[in-house]
Structure 1
Amino acid sequence: MTIAVRLARIGFALLGAVALVWIPARNLDVDSFSIANYFSYFTILSNVLSVIVLLVGGLLDPQDPRWQNLRGAVTVYMVITCVVYAVLLADVDVTLNDKWINDTMHRLIPIVVLADWLISPPRTRIDDKQCLTWLAFPAVYAVYSLIRGPIVDWYPYPFIDPRQQGYLELAFSAVVLTVAMVLLALAVGAVGRLAARWRYR
């Protein structure tokens, strides 16, 4: 991998890290701010994973198949973050009130991670079955949010809040989101294989 790509990974990882710590650092003395709630947003968790993947990729650039599989998974999570925000959350308060942080986490870093996946695709083929395993994390996250929600009387996003829509509509939304995420996972895997075929032919 070229030094320019590795430096870009490190640079964007540092930018993502600054965006992640900015709001907690500024709001730790605010009574209404909850660090547990902050790290219960899918956006925050997916950006944490992105920072790790970009930083490790920039410093070490591992080629292990398991690492490449993790890269693919994190790429899907960031694409989900970008698409769900654009479609469902653009006008919803999700704590990230600073425009540069909002744009960084929901737009810039997802584009960077996807571009990195295409510029430096895995040399090992990742099939559709492996791509679907990437969705284990969103599934666990959904279960966590639904269990924690009634305990703390707080949900990170309106579309997983049964208090606002009821469980029937929640179930319908879950089916639609699941189908969308399956398609996104398969698409990320497919474009990665196409990019690898072009890059390493």
Structure 2
Amino acid sequence: MVWAWLRIAVAVVGFSGVVAGFIVNVDRARREGQDLGLVLANYFSLFTIVSTIILIVTFVIAGLWSLRNPGRSPEPRGIALAIAGITGPILLLGIVYNALLRGLPSEIALTDPSGIHSLDVWATESLHVIIPLYLLVDLFFASRRRALSWWSLAVIVAYPLLWLTYTLIRGGLTPDPSGAHDWWYPYPFLDPHGGGGWPSVLIYVAVMLVVLVAIGAGIVAVGRLRSRRAAARTSPVGAAG
């Protein structure tokens, strides 16, 4: 029961972070006279936001299933796949943000005269730090997690690749809301108009794909190891030993 409520709680944290970021972006668009529709389309195209929305839905469903089905049986395979499929991308998100993007000057911090900067900080820290850290705890300690086959790696990699394809195509067709460029990419390392051009983008993508596969392999391996240990503890041989 505890883990069911923790999963619902982290979904609430994610929702609050998405809402905080939404308010910040609406406020900035209005203050700077930007196209609100374009700003919000960009906001809901961010990897952070798309991933968090998927997490919210997944963890609410997982938490409600646990509450409605008390006991010790493993969670359904579909829920286990969904949790693994979003854990990998969000752990990657936490690594990329804290390794590559933390410390970059925030536009909100530089231009906000209204005190809404605190909402920006909450959105950033809750979605890039708190939730990834919780997912690690859930991976190693949550009860009723089901072991997955190695083919589950395909599920973990699928969504980020779809998002990347969408983003790279959309980026060249979408103007920056500020009017500075005729293109808009959500993260600097995905912008081919930078100094390194497309080769730099492709190198970053290749490195992150390798990291994502490694994270996914770790998720599957931890689940399988936990399952074997649980089976050993409950088997007659394990109990006798």
Give the alignment's TM-score, normalised by structure 1. Answer: 0.88
CA contact (8 A) 1:71 1:117 kept: no
Question: Unaligned stretches of 5+ in structure 2?
Answer: 70-74, 109-116, 175-182, 234-241
Question: Unaligned stretches of 5+ in structure 1?
Answer: none
CA contact (8 A) 2:192 2:201 kept: yes
- Structure 2 match to 1:180: 211
Letter in 2 for 1:156: P
- Structure 2 match to 1:47: 52
Given the superposition, is the C-alpha separation of residues 178 and 44 from structure 1 closer, same or farther in structure 2, using an over 3 Å criterion? same
Alpha-carbon RMSD: 2.2
- Structure 1 match to 2:157: 135
Match of 1:23 among 21, 24, 27: 21
CA contact (8 A) 1:122 1:196 kept: no
Q: Cα distance, 1:123 vs. partner? A: 5.2
CA contact (8 A) 2:87 2:135 kept: yes
Identical-residue share of aligned pairs (%): 29
CA contact (8 A) 2:147 2:220 kept: no
CA contact (8 A) 1:94 1:157 kept: no
State the structure with more CA Rg: 2
Q: Deviations over 1:13-57 (max 9, x none)?
A: 112111111222354352435111111111111111121222222
Q: How many pairs does the alignment contain? A: 199
Given the superposition, is the C-alpha separation of residues 95 and 145 from structure 1 closer, same or farther in structure 2, using an over 3 Å criterion? farther
Given the superposition, is the C-alpha separation of residues 14 and 67 from structure 1 closer, same or farther in structure 2, using an over 3 Å criterion? same
Q: Cα distance, 1:128 vs. partner? A: 2.1
Which stretch has the larger CA shift, 117-126 or 75-84? Answer: 117-126
Given the superposition, is the C-alpha separation of residues 93 and 188 from structure 1 closer, same or farther in structure 2, using an over 3 Å criterion? farther
Given the superposition, is the C-alpha separation of residues 83 and 156 from structure 1 closer, same or farther in structure 2, using an over 3 Å criterion? same
Q: Cα distance, 1:95 vs. partner? A: 7.0
CA distance in 2, matches of 1:6, 1:124: 15
